[in-house]
């Protein structure tokens, strides 16, 4: 249970960092209009939950189906897969009116790189994978 909560918090932090650093990724909060910080925390946690579910359920299938492209590009196609998953997460968040937006492919690529590096670093610091 602690590993799940740690992973959830790390994903939320990575999403927040990507939204801060990339122009095409942002949180507007639930509903419409500009939201205060307090109004963004719950949607951020819900988007992190959606992102974790998408990563756990969809990413393995896409990775296996994309093995030829991954080998051909020496692994760089994984960035494209992560960008598509981030876009899919934003689409799902839009269905629930959570106010998470990814505007275009290149912001999704930049966000995917930031999220991947941030989760890698925070996982190493927190030691989520250690048992």
Grade residue 28 by pLDDT with cuts at 50, 70 and 90: confident
| Tokens matching residue 11 | 């994903």
Give CA–CA dist 119/76, Å, rounded. Answer: 18
Give CA–CA dist 121/33, Å, rounded. Answer: 33
Q: H or E stretch including 37?
A: helix 37-57
Please count the structural domains in the chain: 1
**pLDDT for residue 40:** 79
Q: What is the pTM of this model?
A: 0.88
- Examine residue 21 and state whether it is found in any structural domain, yes or no: yes
- Examine residue 76 and state whether it is found in any structural domain, yes or no: yes
- Examine residue 40 and state whether it is found in any structural domain, yes or no: yes
- Examine residue 131 and state whether it is found in any structural domain, yes or no: no
């Amino acid at each position: 249970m602690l590993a799940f909560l740690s992973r959830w918090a790390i994903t939320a932090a990575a999403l927040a960092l990507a939204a801060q650093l990339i122009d095409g990724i942002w949180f507007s909060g639930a509903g419409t209009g500009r939201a205060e910080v307090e109004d963004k925390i719950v949607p951020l946690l819900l988007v992190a939950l959606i992102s974790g579910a998408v990563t756990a359920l969809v990413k393995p299938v896409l990775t296996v189906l994309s093995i030829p492209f991954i080998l051909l590009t020496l692994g760089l196609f994984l960035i494209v897969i992560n960008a598509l998953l981030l876009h899919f997460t934003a689409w799902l968040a839009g269905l629930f009116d959570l106010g998470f937006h990814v505007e275009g492919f290149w912001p999704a690529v930049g966000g995917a790189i930031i999220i991947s590096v941030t989760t890698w670093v925070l996982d190493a610091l927190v030691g989520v994978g250690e048992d």
